[in-house]
């Protein structure tokens, strides 16, 4: 009864965290180190899910990616496949909702790196990518790591947007929070408590371990 939901949750959180980390890092670098028109607007749009109720975010997602959605409709007529009610939809929801946390923390972390180190790297003949990977990234590591942890935590607890676009199908898209919701609403208190306890245990353990890990690696970086 518990393993299917736990499995879906772990799968969704792993994929969403990887996606959020990659996407968030690229965007954070763009926003921190580049100037282009509409830059702050892009930041604001990407931060919206932090402010909007998740159900509203989910509704937007379904309007964009649903079978009749703006991007979902062409995808459907092209491939006959729709994202709605699949586990990648849950990944999508978790990613969109977690991205602002990754973006905000890593943008601040990258901005706090003194540009003179990057400039020094350029004068020594290193390209932009090499400089980013070997100078900026290590110096901003703690903030970025914090961003990844926060994103993973947010992805694990994601509920509203997931319910909207991925549905609540046991064994397929039913994550731990959705299983708790269903157990509570159908009056199965014992199952709800058990699931909630497991979810809490996982979150606390993950956060504690990352704190320990980032403190030792921080000392190592300093």
Partner 1 sequence: MRRPLLLSCLCALAALVGTHCRPQPHNAAPRTQPDEITVSAAVSLKDAFSEIGRRYEARTGTRVNFNFGASGVLQKQIEQGAPVDVFASAGAKQMDALAAQHLILPDARADFARNQLVLIMPRSQMNGAHPSLSAWLAQPALYRLAIGNPQTVPAGEYARQLLTTMKLWEQMQPRLVLAEDVRQVLDYVAREEVDAGLVYLSDVAPTDQTVFVAATAPTGSHDPIRYPIAVVKDSRHEQAARGFVAAVLSLDGQMVLQQYNFISVLMREDNGSPQNSRLRAQ
| Angle, vertex CA 156, rays to CA 150 and CA 159, nearest 5 | 115
Per CB under 8 A, which of residues 196..215 are in contact with partner 1? 213
170: contact with partner 1 by CB under 8 A: yes
Residue 51 Cα distances to 23, 33, 36, angstroms: 20, 25, 24
Q: Which is nearer to partner 1, 31 or 140 (CB)?
A: 140
Contact window for partner 1 (CB under 8 A) among 92-100, 113-121, 167-175, 198-206: 167-175
CB of 159 to partner 1, least distance (A): 11
Q: Count residues contacting partner 1 (CB under 8 A)?
A: 36
Give dist(CA 111, CA 2) in Å, integer: 43
Give dist(CA 129, CA 208) in Å, integer: 32
161: contact with partner 1 by CB under 8 A: no
Residue 71 Cα distances to 8, 112, 122, 164, 200, angstroms: 25, 37, 41, 17, 36
Contacts with partner 1 by CB under 8 A lie at 7-8, 10-11, 14-15, 18, 55, 59, 62-63, 66-69, 72-73, 76, 82, 84-85, 87, 163-164, 167-170, 172, 182, 184-187, 213, 217
């Amino acid at each position: 009864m518990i393993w299917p939901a736990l499995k879906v949750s772990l799968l969704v959180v792993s994929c969403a965290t990887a996606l959020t980390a990659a996407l968030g890092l690229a965007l954070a670098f763009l926003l921190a180190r580049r100037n282009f028109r509409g830059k702050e607007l892009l930041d604001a749009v990407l931060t919206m899910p932090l402010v909007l109720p998740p159900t509203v975010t989910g509704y937007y997602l379904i309007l964009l990616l649903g079978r009749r959605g703006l991007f979902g409709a062409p995808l459907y007529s092209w491939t006959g496949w729709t994202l709605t009610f699949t586990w990648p939809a849950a990944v999508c929801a978790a990613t969109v909702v977690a991205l602002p946390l990754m973006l905000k923390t890593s943008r601040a972390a990258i901005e706090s790196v003194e540009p003179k180190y990057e400039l020094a790297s350029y004068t020594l003949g290193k390209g932009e990518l090499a400089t980013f990977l070997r100078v900026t990234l290590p110096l901003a590591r703690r903030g970025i790591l914090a961003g990844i942890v926060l994103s993973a935590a947010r992805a694990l607890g994601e509920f509203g947007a997931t319910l909207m676009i991925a549905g609540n199908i046991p064994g397929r898209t039913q994550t731990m929070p959705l299983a708790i919701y269903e157990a509570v609403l159908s009056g199965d208190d014992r199952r709800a408590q058990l699931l909630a306890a497991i979810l809490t245990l996982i979150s606390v353990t993950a956060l504690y371990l990352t704190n320990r890990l980032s403190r030792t690696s921080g000392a190592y970086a300093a």
